[in-house]
Structure 1
């Protein structure tokens, strides 16, 4: 099992979601809104000086599905080269509690 973290600018959220849903209509994810910080682009603070914000999609899926999602996200990045968009992949294990 893989945990994908997709961190991006709010302005391309719809495009990312559309790309992910093209892989599978049964997309399951968690979304963290109003994410502030600074990566390789300008700061995202949601204030008067740095008004933009990021979001994070967290997806747990198989390794095969993760590869398909990453390919889909790569196509979005190729269309929006100036927007901050990163994907991180972490192996994980589901625990029964």
Structure 2
């Protein structure tokens, strides 16, 4: 199992959600407010000095699906080069008992 984390500017939330739905993602968690600064973007701290905020989506899936998701995130990076978007994959060693269904099936 893999955990895909995607951090992105909240301004592209609808585009991010649609991109994931278009490839068949059915299960995910959203952290609605994430503050930070990327290597090539201004800080986003939702303040008058540093306006804006980021969001984070977390998806648990199999390895093949995780690679498809990162491919989609890379497409969004090309579409929105001025927005902060990063995706990364981590290994999941174990998970609680529940339906362990690939979200792309």
For the criterion TM > 0.5, the same-fold answer is yes
Corresponding residue SS for 1:95: coil
Q: Distance in 2 between matches of 1:2 and 1:22?
A: 20
Residue 45 to residue 71, structure 1, CA distance change in 2 (3 Å): same
Aligned residues: 96
Which portions of structure 1, spanning 4 or more consecutive aligned residues, are displaced by more than 6 angstroms?
A: none
Question: 1:7 aligns to what?
Answer: 7
In structure 2, C-alpha distance between the alignment counterparts of 1:39 and 1:96, rounded to whole Å:
33
Which runs of 5 or more structure 2 residues have no equivalent in the other structure?
A: 98-105
Other structure's SS at 1:38 match: coil
Kindly tell me: are residues 96 and 13 of structure 1, through their superposed partners in 2, closer, same or farther at Cα, counting changes over 3 Å? closer
Would the aligned equivalents of 2:9 and 2:83 in 1 still touch at CA under 8 Å?
yes
Hey, what does 2:36 align to over in structure 1? Answer: 37
Q: Secondary structure at the match of 1:42?
A: coil
CA RMSD between the two structures: 1.3
Which residues in structure 2 correspond to 1:1-97 (within 5 Å)?
A: 1-24=1-24, 26-40=25-39, 41-96=41-96
Residues 45-64 of structure 1: CA deviation (Å, up to 9, x unaligned) = 00111110000001100111
How far did 1:14 drift?
1.0
